[in-house]
Structure 1
């Protein structure tokens, strides 16, 4: 439990990704999209995940396929590395400030993929990055990881700070939900007996 490697090749992207849920926050990220590299690096750091991502995508078109497919691969890796979820806390939440931005993230590692995404990103781009792709990334991630995730913006006007706050908040709430409770190490945190 705790580690996964994913390889995925389509006509639009070729991705190699490895994830350790219980790492130290080390990462090697090369997505072909500088802003996404930055977001995944801080995601790994704040979640204490060891994450390696190498993506070759059709960024000459735009970043959409790469960002969505990385979300798919990260979700797949998360689900595989989680295993049956025995011993985890299951729930995690944080209200995270990022300068003037304030972001709430709440997660349930539930076995049910659901995203409630409520960010009002005020610009269409940060640098060359299309800000609408943030939601596409988290849709793909939650569908493939089978987690319930709520991301809410409580304050903020700077697009970069809102997005960065969201990635940090999600990482920290996931870290909390994944923490192992020694007293319940062999128990699955559900009355159903499965997540």
Structure 2
């Protein structure tokens, strides 16, 4: 089975995550950040990946340490569960109208990180 568990502890956070890539979309998410919990639950449900995350962080400062470290740990768990990546599609993209939003997701699991962030702030 393609499963993995990862833990990460820093000065700001303590995160434990497990994934089952061949799951049914079940999740148990506890980050202390309601919207992040909701989005990760949707990720599990729509990807059919079982995701369990328990996170404790310095939420009294702000949410960014916890959100960032949850992303790091979840990515590490998925990478570990994919192992040699045999039998998967390396990249994909989708536009999805959901409720009152249009989402665009593009993913590449090649292991080469890159981000272009062109946003105007006012």
Question: Where do 5+ consecutive residues of structure 1 fail to align?
Answer: 123-195
Aligned CA RMSD, in angstroms, stands at 2.1
Aligned to 1:181: none
1:9 aligns with 2:9: yes
Aligned to 2:53: 53
User: For residues 96 and 121 of structure 1, what CA distance do their matches in structure 2 show?
Assistant: 25
| Alignment size in residue pairs | 122
User: For residues 103 and 94 of structure 1, what CA distance do their matches in structure 2 show?
Assistant: 8
Of structures 1 and 2, the larger Rg is shown by 1
Q: For residue 115 of structure 1, give the secondary structure of its aligned residue in structure 2.
A: coil
Higher strand share: 2
TM-aligned CA distance change 1:38 to 1:119, over 3 Å: farther
Q: For residue 94 of structure 1, give the secondary structure of its aligned residue in structure 2.
A: strand
Cα deviations by residue, 1:75-114 (Å, 9 ceiling, x for unpaired): 1111111111111122222110023422222222222112
Q: State TM-score, norm by structure 1.
A: 0.57
- Listed as ranges, the matches of 1:36-185 within 5 Å are 36-117=36-117
Higher helix share: 1
TM-aligned CA distance change 1:105 to 1:8, over 3 Å: same
Question: Where do 5+ consecutive residues of structure 2 fail to align?
Answer: none
Cα deviations by residue, 1:106-148 (Å, 9 ceiling, x for unpaired): 22222211234567899xxxxxxxxxxxxxxxxxxxxxxxxxx
Deviation at 1:33, TM superposition (A): 0.9
